[in-house]
Structure 1
């Protein structure tokens, strides 16, 4: 069993392993994110409405960062973008602890995420450059294991740091680990350049038109955004719910979040490999994942037994394993060769929009109605995503049939001409 498990990690280049390590280091260091809503509620005494607005700025910054990353990566390359993003976000993390008013924190969060979220599209391009077609989905999964390994360690350490030092300690650790990660990357990985310079020819390609005409890709973005809205409940409403409904400490919340990381570390890569080997329809897999995520949030309606939180985390983790890796690989499969950066940027922006909508919508529902109303809304939203998945599968089937028909027509026309 161990031998079979370890075989999932074969075939990756040295650069992919280094990317995986710095992603782990970066994720483990980003301890403040799961506790951000609690920090604003407990230490800064912000209202639910104010927390919701700050999370909106978090998402807006993420959109700006993703957009800039795609555009700049296509011009100067992903390597420089990654170095700038991690180094500068490390500096901003350290400064963020000194911003305590509502307006200053809105501005600080906007700047932070605008810089920090330039990393993800550039990192996805790096995986595509240093990897190959055969290992693409597994390489994406490997970096997700790194993220979740950091997610396993980060919240527990974060909870301990808060209890012993306070929230200021988190900001210092977050900032310094970002800087350390990019120093390791710049020393061990060199920018991959072409052995000769290509002469650029001016193209009439209209990037916006190509992306807007790719209807399956656009529908997939909408599904991905809903998936993100469901998942981000783990970082926005649930830490507050743990405290208010079950009186959990930061350390206990950290342990629950770490359980999710542990499940994903152990099972995601073998699961992805099994699905790829059996060639199971990706949209069906994503649909099953969304169903698990929706049920996990509806389980929060059971509010008198804290054991339900463990069941919820397990189901949410299964949903994440079935949706996120294949959402990434589907987006990569639709990429136009001349527009890689922009395609990936648009894809990652769907998660940015999800962050805005997840936080603001949920905080608004909770303040106006209750946590229970929020869980029902999220379950309904997940059901909508399932309908969209069914629509996407029909759209892809029609696309395949049209391609086959064009090929047949082309062959017959050639025969008639001869």
Structure 2
């Protein structure tokens, strides 16, 4: 029985093209090297001595840059191709990360983080489109899960290593690591993966000759997709607290060091690395509707914040993190797949840009909202607010399910 279980686990990783595995490799290298972001709020607060309000404002500019970059990246992916956008984005981001360590003023950080995120997040919609090109239609959800697995494996290694770098080298070492990892990842991609046109992988391109106006009408009047985007926003809004308010909470309430916070975040990444692919494979084999998976995942996100109200022992942090981790595994790979499947042929970049923009908008509002609530009313009020907002996301999914049922009659 054990050998059969191992074989079933391994089977989840079969059937991918060479390009998908290379995309997975560069994603791991890039994500493992992206060590600054989990500690960014602590760096701004403790090293640069920004106020809570200033930290929240910097995070808003972070999200604004991400929002603009996602839209630009999606539009350009449809116009000039995903490949060029991916190469430009990662290489330029790597160069800019090096210079970020020399920015020390509040206004400088607002401008710099906005600029770097515009360029960095052009990569995300382009990468999603590339998965649609290099992956077979029958395993696109698993391909998305495989790339997320690389993200989370990098996330397991990155924060723990980042915590050690801070202890022994200071925060400047993190900026060096970010810079080198971006450049290394894109050089590997450029050398090993050749550009491929969508027309060579999809015979349905004759159906893609809609005008831009028609495509926009489809996107902005697609009520099902708009409800889905609100749910993505709500889920991301509360999920990003993991990187902004929770690291501060760990230290100020429980007295944890950066290394301990890094270990907790690494547990999240390691759990996703081990369990997400089998979970995706199980859901697909059983034919469980994606919308039901979304509802369960969003509920768990909300619950992960409510449990933080029981701050009587350190194990509550672990319980909240595990609930959030399970929610993440149920939600993110299937939401990626749903967004890609909903996109009209030939405008996948535009739809995936809207999808990534929902997360970017969450970045803009999540950190600032959380920091403001904490500064005025404390952490407990913030956890209640975040959990309740997650329940609103569940409501949007229930309405979306009804509309989908009517659409499919």
Change over 3 Å in CA distance of 1:205–1:241 after alignment to 2: same
Verify: 1:145 aligned to 2:149, yes or no. Answer: yes
1:15 matched residue in structure 2 = 19
Q: What are the residue-to-residue correspondences of 1:273-312 with 2, within 5 Å?
A: 273-312=281-320
CA contact (8 A) 2:300 2:323 kept: yes
Instruction: Name the counterpart of 2:340.
Output: 332
SS of corresponding position for 1:337: coil
Q: Secondary structure at the match of 2:14?
A: coil
Counterparts of 1:225 and 1:78, CA distance in 2: 24
Between the aligned partners of 1:256 and 1:195, the Cα distance in structure 2 is: 44
Deviation at 1:213, TM superposition (A): 1.6
Are 1:377 and 2:377 an aligned pair? Answer: no
Question: What's the CA shift for 1:201?
Answer: 10
Which secondary structure does the structure 1 equivalent of 2:70 belong to?
Answer: helix
Change (3 A) 1:319 1:209: same
Cα distance between partner residues in 2 of 1:212 and 1:195: 29
Q: TM-score, normalised by structure 2?
A: 0.96
- Superposition pairs for residues 124-203 of structure 1, below 5 Å? 124-193=128-197, 203=210
Deviation at 1:377, TM superposition (A): 0.3
Q: Does 2:208 match 1:204? A: no
- Once the two structures are TM-superposed, the CA of residue 202 in structure 1 deviates from its matched residue by 7.4
1:42 is aligned to 46
- Matched residues in 1 for 2:360 and 2:152: separation? 19
Determine the structure 2 residue equivalent to 1:360: 368
Q: Which residue of 1 aligns with 2:56?
A: 52
Contact in 1 for aligned 2:86/2:127 (Cα 8 Å): yes
Is 1:24 matched with 2:31?
no
* CA displacement, residues 47-74 of structure 1 (integer Å, 9 cap, x when unaligned): 1100000000000000111011011111
Counterpart residue number, 1:69:
73
Deviation of residue 304 (structure 1)? Answer: 2.7
In structure 2, the partner of 1:97 is: 101
CA distance in structure 1 between the partners assigned to 2:292 and 2:239 by the alignment? 19
Distance verdict in 2 for CA 1:324–1:201, change over 3 Å: closer
Determine helix, strand or coil for the equivalent of 2:408.
helix
Which residues of 2 match residues 202-241 of structure 1 at below 5 A?
Answer: 203-206=210-213, 207-241=215-249
Cα offsets for 1:303-345 (capped at 9, x unmatched): 2311111111111000000110111111111111121111110
Which of 96, 113, 117 is the aligned partner of 1:113? Answer: 117
Match of 1:265 in 2: 273
Runs of 4+ in structure 1 off by over 4 angstroms are: 198-203
- Kindly state the Cα deviation for residue 383 of structure 1 after the two structures are TM-superposed: 1.1
1:204, distance to aligned residue in structure 2 (A)? 3.3
Select 2:398's aligned residue among 390, 396, 399. 390
Task: Name the count of aligned residue pairs.
Answer: 400
Q: Distance in 2 between matches of 1:307 and 1:370?
A: 21
C-alpha separation between the residues in 1 aligned to 2:348 and 2:60? 27
Q: Kindly indicate whether the alpha-carbon contact (under 8 Å) linking 2:207 and 2:345 is maintained by their aligned counterparts in 1.
A: no
CA contact (8 A) 2:59 2:363 kept: yes
Tell me how far apart the structure 1 counterparts of residues 89 and 273 of structure 2 sit (CA, whole Å): 26
Long gaps (5+) in structure 2: none
Please report the RMSD computed on the Cα atoms of aligned residues, expressed in angstroms: 1.6
Structure 1 pair 201/321, CA: closer, same or farther in 2 (3 Å)?
A: closer
Give 1:203 deviation, angstroms: 4.8
1:250 Cα deviation (Å)?
Answer: 0.6
Q: Which has the larger radius of gyration?
A: 1
Q: Which residue of 2 aligns with 1:82?
A: 86
Separation (CA, whole Å) in 2 of partners of 1:130 and 1:195: 10
Q: Deviations over 1:259-289 (max 9, x none)?
A: 0001101111101111111111211111111
1:299 Cα deviation (Å)?
Answer: 1.2
Q: Distance in 1 between matches of 2:292 and 2:12?
A: 23
Aligned pairs for 1:242-261 (under 5 A) are 242-261=250-269
